[in-house]
Every structure is written in C-alpha cells, then in structure tokens.
A and B are shown apart, each in its own frame.
Chain A
Amino acid sequence: EAGVTQSPTHLIKTRGQQATLRCSPISGHTSVYWYQQALGLGLQFLLWYDEGEERNRGNFPPRFSGRQFPNYSSELNVNALELEDSALYLCASCRDLPYNEQFFGPGTRLTVL
C-alpha cells in the first residue's frame, strides 16, 4: 500500500509570493490534515478536509487556504508569503473515524527568503 505522498519536497519562495503544496492520501482515506512544523513552535494544526469539504481550521490567517479534490488529494495554498511561514508542512490522511491513526507524509520544506 502506497503511503501519503507530498510534493514538492522543497520549495523556495520570496516574500509576497504564493506557494502551493500538494498531498496525495493513502487510497481509501477520505480525510486530509495539514500541519505546520516551524522551528521552536512544534506542530500546529492548519486545516482539515473531509469528503471535499473544509471541516476545521487552526489559528492561522486566511492567507492559508486549501482544497480537497474529488480523488481526495489536497492542495495547500499560502498567499502573500512571510518569512515566518518558513517551515516543514506535513500532510496526514486517515479514514474519517476518530480512533483511526493519521498517517503522515514526508513533508514539504518551505523556505521564504
């Protein structure tokens, strides 16, 4: 069974630009979660998509947005990039029940210059 995949592995942008990160969940998983892992801040929940709908978002500005496609893959968009957006962005997928484990992808390292 293929795991969660993310692309690109690394992304370098400059302040003010937009970044698009992609995630493909494990086959059969309908929920996708995005987390930000910034140095010194730990892992912070960003967004949760399930069945194509945004179900919840963390304490992040509207510059962070995304969507989930009919095949359950997901995209995270970060507009008007700021230096503090530099972080590892992790995607996780699971079946939509609370006791189910979230499986994580390898992450996208976003660097904002």
Chain B
Amino acid sequence: AQTVTQSQPEMSVQEAETVTLSCTYDTSESDYYLFWYKQPPSRQMILVIRQEAYKQQNATENRFSVNFQKAAKSFSLKISDSQLGDAAMYFCAYKDGAGSYQLTFGKGTKLSVIP
C-alpha cells in the first residue's frame, strides 16, 4: 500500500520569506501523480500544485513550486514571497496512475505566516 509522510506537523514563516514543506512517499508503482492541497481554516480543500511522475520537470504555479526527486521519493513544496493568506494546513497527496484513483494523504503540515 502507498504511504505518504509529512514529517513537519507545524511550520512558520515570516511574511515575504520563503518556506519549504517536506513530503516523502512510498510506492512500487511507476505511474502516479502527486499533489499538494491547501486547507485554510474555512476548511475547503483546494489544489495548490500537481506533478506527474513521468515528468522530470518540476511543476510551478506562480509562487508555488515543487522539488520532485523520484528516486528519493520526495516531493517538497516551496512557497516564495509568503503571504498571510498562505496560512493553512497543507496536505501532500498521492494517486495511482492506473486502477484505483483515490488520494492517499499525508497527515498535513500546519503553516503559520507571521506578519
């Protein structure tokens, strides 16, 4: 079974600074997808960024980028120029590329942004 591990239960960052959230996963599959979801205090989960395992290039979405290390099974999220609105729970998630398509989540990292 696939597992996702987020080793940082809580992190904080100064506004306008950069922070990196860690995620490792375990799978025997070669075809899969990785995601970072954000859950603000209002609780609706939204997708931050997505990475296809077959793509070597790291995904970027504006201030958000990932460092995808397939051999190390590592998938970290970097948030640049942190803003107050970035404060939320961040979940790393894994999905198989075939078969069952549910998400397997890490336990989350609570990010605080200090003004």
Contacts and interface: CB of A to CB of B under 8 A. Distances in A.
Interface of A: 31, 33, 35, 42-45, 48, 55-56, 58, 88, 90, 92, 94, 96, 98-99, 101-107
Contacts of A44: 105
A108 to B, nearest CB: 11
Given A56-B100, A98-B95, A101-B50, A43 B44 contact: no
A102 B50 CA distance: 11
A92 B43 CA distance: 13
Contact of B100 (A48, A101, A102, A105): A48
A92 B35 CA distance: 14
B105 A43 contact: yes
A98 B101 contact: yes
Contact of B91 (A31, A43, A94): A43
Contacts of A42: 91, 105-108
B101 A104 contact: no
Contacts of A58: 102
Interface in B40-60: 42-47, 50, 52
Interface residues of B, number: 25
B106 to A, nearest CB: 7
B74 to A, nearest CB: 19
Interface string B77-115: 000000000000001000111101111111110000000
